[in-house]
Structure 1
């Protein structure tokens, strides 16, 4: 298809738009960018795709009759053998995963410390800075361990950082533009990591198979929700794994700038 085949508007931005059930026929999306978008039950037929990058949680993605999601997962495990450790099924496995996470982040932090401090506030390709990444990981642990597992209705530090697209919620901080120092951020980050350490160190099979109590008060996750405790811990491990991968990727770019 050629540019001349299309008419209409070019370059608009859609934010918090509900397009569920929309139908696109002979539409050019060349150069489009999608962030934090849901594509559940999307059907694409007769499409042309080249030089496309997809990062996210992918399940049941069928391309030309082949479910490629298991192939992607297998390739990621091949590239990153440690990744399997972050899908534990036993209390001992969760302790092993957290031990490994602490070691991996020690190396990533040592790499970050070699950069000029101002670079740790720089974004690469619109992603979070290194400092913002640490702030977000604190938020994730506070939410899924502090709020869900330990029952603290408001566990967040003022510098904790939710994901960008989260709508404002009473009592939940969301100061994306704050610029704390690395040491100030690490105080917050290490307190959250210590919270996770206490939980996994005392974890039993009975606890792992239990559910959390219904959440109390406004915040994230939502009031009244309850989760398998196992799921809460896996969410934290998943956040830890991927955000370290993203941090390492962006640190490589910042090293070139530095």
Structure 2
């Protein structure tokens, strides 16, 4: 691999371009310059990187069977993450009591984090850090996730949406699902929705039984998201546990950056 600036013998350059919703399955990248490239919401299942420079690379996401120079480092990474954050291991519940314990943790953590966010200049809560969702966009997305998986898939409401719901970026537009990326609600507006959705989740986890977690949902036939099929209840409720945990991790990561800018309300 040579430096592109010193050895500009490339057939084409795509510097600074964004490739969105492209399918590169089975594509071969050979003698290709990817310095500074960013990969977001990509699927790299079965990817192979050989004979390459992998220097100062930062990977975050769902990692399974990651092998570096012949060594599977997956278990090491998972063990280290659990060591650093003991509550993380509790975010993989399968029994009713474990779901309740996980939700107790998430309720407490979000309450603390919201109080932390309130100390910032309200405008900062609309600000994205490194291109990721703002704090308020994160709250909107979690409202959407609960609407989709709990109120629709689990509880059977075919159209549970709020106008402030914010689907994930890589989801195709669905006419029945709101997706207004330009709206700028206040923190109190989105928190009112969050309190309602979190209360619904609390009711669900408190009502779980051993039989319930192993049962399947009744498919919702009307168009929307997720698709019209049945799901294992443990997977549906676990999806929200997972969403809440990881988006909380992203939120506190970005709040630290916003706090460093020194604009507080009091």
Give the structure-2-normalised TM-score: 0.94
Aligned pair partner of 1:163 in 154, 168, 171:
168
Aligned pair partner of 1:222 in 199, 224, 227:
227
Task: Find the aligned partners of 1:66 and 1:231 in 2 and give their Cα distance.
Answer: 31
Offset at 1:6?
4.7
1:216-246 per-position Cα deviation (integer Å, ceiling 9, x unaligned): 21111112x2211101111111111111111
Task: Find the aligned partners of 2:50 and 2:8 in 1 and give their Cα distance.
Answer: 18
1:67-107 per-position Cα deviation (integer Å, ceiling 9, x unaligned): 22221111110110011111112101111111111001111
Task: Find the aligned partners of 1:183 and 1:37 in 2 and give their Cα distance.
Answer: 33
Aligned pair partner of 1:89 in 94, 119, 124:
94
Offset at 1:5?
6.5
CA contact (8 A) 1:6 1:27 kept: no
Task: Find the aligned partners of 2:99 and 2:179 in 1 and give their Cα distance.
Answer: 30
Give the structure-1-normalised TM-score: 0.96
Alignment partner, residue 179 of structure 2: 174
SS at match of 1:106: helix
Task: Find the aligned partners of 1:168 and 1:127 in 2 and give their Cα distance.
Answer: 20
Task: Find the aligned partners of 1:220 and 1:196 in 2 and give their Cα distance.
Answer: 18
Report runs of 4+ in structure 1 exceeding 4 Å deviation: none
- CA RMSD, aligned part only? 1.1
Offset at 1:202?
0.6
Alignment partner, residue 2 of structure 2: 2
Q: How many residues align?
A: 257
Alignment partner, residue 246 of structure 2: 242
Task: Find the aligned partners of 1:6 and 1:111 in 2 and give their Cα distance.
Answer: 52
